[in-house]
């Protein structure tokens, strides 16, 4: 392959990877934008969504084979992850909304550890494998560059979800309530907005998006493991920070940009004689440091003035 073909191939791979990051980063940004919580349990919800998809598909595969079974499994994982996100919000975070942010942060770490260790015990720390019902090889060739059908589906669905969320936040009453609560919760309460309900909906939407990303990863990579949410959760948080934490367009931009830069950077390091896969995380977090040096609020973030 020529250099241009390699670059284009890595752009496709980066878009797929960036789609995963963006879907998870949206949950981080939505929650932070409303209650200023860094929900570090979000990566574990991504992981439970993948396990839910795998489990439901395994149970349904005899009766509902093929793509119908996959779609049913994804829908089930969305319901499961949405319920998990809501329960975490209702019983772990809501009682502490008036507490210092550090208390919420510690609670989020606690929720993450509970989910992480629960799945580790249930699965006995063993990876689980998704049946090979999807052809990950079939696709189209464009000038020597291979784009598989599953990659096209993943990128297209992720783009539609991002556009749909943008329209939901910008044009529906619930979305307007979310934006209002992000500005001033007390005024929203005085105007009759059910703040707790809107916060719960926010957690459900973020968890559903994480479950979709987890289901896609389960289908695309063919395996799931109890610790799969750790590093991708940190990278998705990195994407949210790069884009501007609390900004929905910023989370999308940050996720896609991080995925593309990671793919191109890994390939570049390999061409220079380094082990690209071993250095890719160093490259990713190096990008984070550089962006925050020159853009402390992220690419699309805005400065906030703290009122005393």
Domain boundaries, the chain: 23-229
Distance linking the first and last C-alpha atoms of the chain: 60
Q: Which residues touch 221 (CB under 8 Å, ≥6 apart)?
A: none
d(CA 59, CA 52) in angstroms, rounded, equals: 11
More confident site: 163 or 288? 163
d(CA 86, CA 123) in angstroms, rounded, equals: 23
| pLDDT tens-place string over residues 218-272 | 888 888 999 999 999 999 999 999 998 888 889 999 999 999 988 888 777 677 7
Q: Is the pLDDT of residue 138 over 80?
A: no
pTM: 0.91
d(CA 25, CA 277) in angstroms, rounded, equals: 22
Q: What is the pLDDT of residue 108?
A: 94
Tell me the sheet residues that pair with 223. 129
| pLDDT tens-place string over residues 42-54 | 999 999 999 999 9
More confident site: 117 or 288? 117
Q: Is the pLDDT of residue 308 over 50?
A: no
Closest of 214, 231, 181, 163 to residue 31, by C-alpha: 181
Q: Which two tokens stand for residue 240?
A: 């949210």
Q: Is the pLDDT of residue 135 over 70?
A: no
d(CA 243, CA 255) in angstroms, rounded, equals: 8
Q: Is the pLDDT of residue 167 over 80?
A: yes
Asked whether 40 and 112 are in contact (CB, 8 A), the reply is yes
- pLDDT, average across residues 168-196: 92
| pLDDT tens-place string over residues 239-253 | 999 998 888 889 999
Element (H, E) at 142: strand 139-142
At 30, the pLDDT band (50, 70, 90 cuts) reads: very high
Among all chains, which residue has been given the structure tokens 């570090």? 40
Q: Is the pLDDT of residue 303 over 70?
A: no
């Amino acid at each position: 392959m020529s250099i241009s073909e390699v670059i284009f191939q890595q752009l496709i791979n980066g878009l797929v990877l960036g789609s995963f990051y963006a879907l998870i980063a949206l949950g981080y940004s939505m929650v932070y934008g409303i209650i200023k919580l860094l929900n570090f349990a979000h990566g574990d919800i991504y992981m439970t969504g993948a396990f839910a998809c795998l489990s439901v598909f395994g149970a349904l595969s005899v009766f509902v084979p093929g793509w119908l079974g996959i779609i049913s499994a994804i829908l089930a994982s969305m319901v499961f992850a949405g319920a998990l996100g809501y329960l975490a919000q209702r019983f772990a975070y809501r009682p502490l909304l008036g507490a210092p942010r550090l208390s919420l942060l510690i609670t989020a770490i606690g929720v993450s550890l509970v989910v992480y260790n629960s799945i580790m015990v249930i699965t006995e720390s063993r990876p689980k494998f998704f049946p090979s019902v999807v052809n990950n090889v079939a696709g189209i060739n464009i000038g020597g560059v291979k784009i598989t059908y599953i990659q096209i589906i993943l990128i297209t669905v992720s783009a539609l979800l991002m556009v749909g969320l943008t329209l939901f936040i910008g044009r529906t009453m619930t979305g307007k309530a979310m934006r209002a609560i992000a500005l001033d919760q007390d005024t929203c309460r005085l105007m009759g907005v059910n703040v707790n309900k809107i916060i719960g909906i926010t957690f459900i939407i973020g968890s559903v998006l994480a479950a979709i990303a987890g289901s896609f990863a389960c289908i695309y990579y063919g395996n799931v493991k109890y610790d799969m949410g750790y590093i991708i959760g940190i990278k998705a948080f990195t994407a949210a920070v790069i884009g501007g934490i609390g900004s929905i367009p910023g989370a999308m931009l940050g996720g896609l940009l991080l995925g593309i830069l990671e793919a191109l950077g890994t390939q570049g390091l390999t061409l220079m004689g380094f082990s690209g896969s071993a250095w890719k995380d160093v490259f990713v977090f190096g990008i984070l440091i550089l962006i925050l040096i020159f853009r402390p609020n992220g690419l699309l973030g805005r400065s906030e003035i703290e009122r005393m």
